[in-house]
Amino acid sequence: MRPETQLVHGGRPSEGPLSVPPVLTAPFRGEGYAREEGTPTWEAFEAAIGALEGGESVAFSSGMGAIAAALEHVPTGARVVRPAAGYTVTRELLAERAAAGRIELADVDVTDTEAVARACEGAALLWVETPTNPMLGIAELDRICDAARAAATQVVVDATFATPLLQRPLELGADVVVHSATKFIGGHSDLLLGVATARDPERAAALRHARGMTGATPGALEAFLALRGLRTLDVRLQRAQANAQVLAERLAAHPAVTLVRYPGLPSDPGHERAARLMDGFGAMLAFEVDGGPEAAQAVCERVRVIVHATSLGGVETLMERRSRYPKEVTPEALLRVSVGIEHAEDLWTDLERALG
């Protein structure tokens, strides 16, 4: 089945209810216990994601729970390569482990394929985001994975921005792919959930063990809602990325905007790579405003249809100035936009007015 059909039918039981209901229990009769063995609700969600990704999936209480578990197998003192610019909390987690002496840490621009290949030499793990958060950089994932394999370096990819519909890193050679299912997979800004998928069953078992030992277990209701959200990912994403293309093109022509970052623009540095490696350009964009951080913050405060809030991937359009976070490594006037499924003209009218 094509991914769009797998979204609808993945994780369905072969008999009984059409959808697995929320199983609200910790103990099961006999020796079963949810933290260690999971529940039918988690398993249905994991089966659906695993079918999409081409591996074995493990659900977690949040995206960061999945990210932390994906790092648990790294030996003490091993070298880990992370993106020089990427999701702040992932970078912080790795920095804390390096400061505690648990790992040796190196930064690399994941859009520079040759630099990544060099950085893999002697590294136990390469962490990749593509597209990167929030700069929308596109990694040449197939070549990166080839270089990592030659160096005996494992590759973990955070593909939250791409979703399993637009890119499946395991098919390109990655060992593990993680998603914050809070975002596009859930799709309605009403849950916290993460998921990691491994190509190797033994790696999946290690992820499951880490989940049980750290208690990063998903809630039954959250897993149920995430699976329900997954069913409509295709139609939501089609509308949202069509809107993103319209907004990116118009922002690029606006006199108050100095730079637009969106791989769907032919002028974007990652356009050719995204066209080759992805099945669409996604619903995330970023742009920089003339006038510095004050002008950018003013745009956030003037929007009315677009919501000034953190997070992404929901049906509503969200915007925020990322550099307001102390450890964020982004231009001060950069605004990140998660484009939703509203009418494109209403979104543009709101943006145009906010830009003044």
Annotated active-site positions, please?
35, 87, 158, 183
Please give the torsion angle defined by the CA atoms of residues 263, 265, 270 and 271, in that order, rounded to the nearest 10 degrees. 100
Give 156's strand partners: 127, 176
Task: Please state, in angstroms and as integers, the Cα–Cα distance from residue 210 to each residue in 6, 46, 58, 255, 344, following that order.
Answer: 28, 16, 10, 50, 43
Q: Which residues are 236's β-sheet partners?
A: none
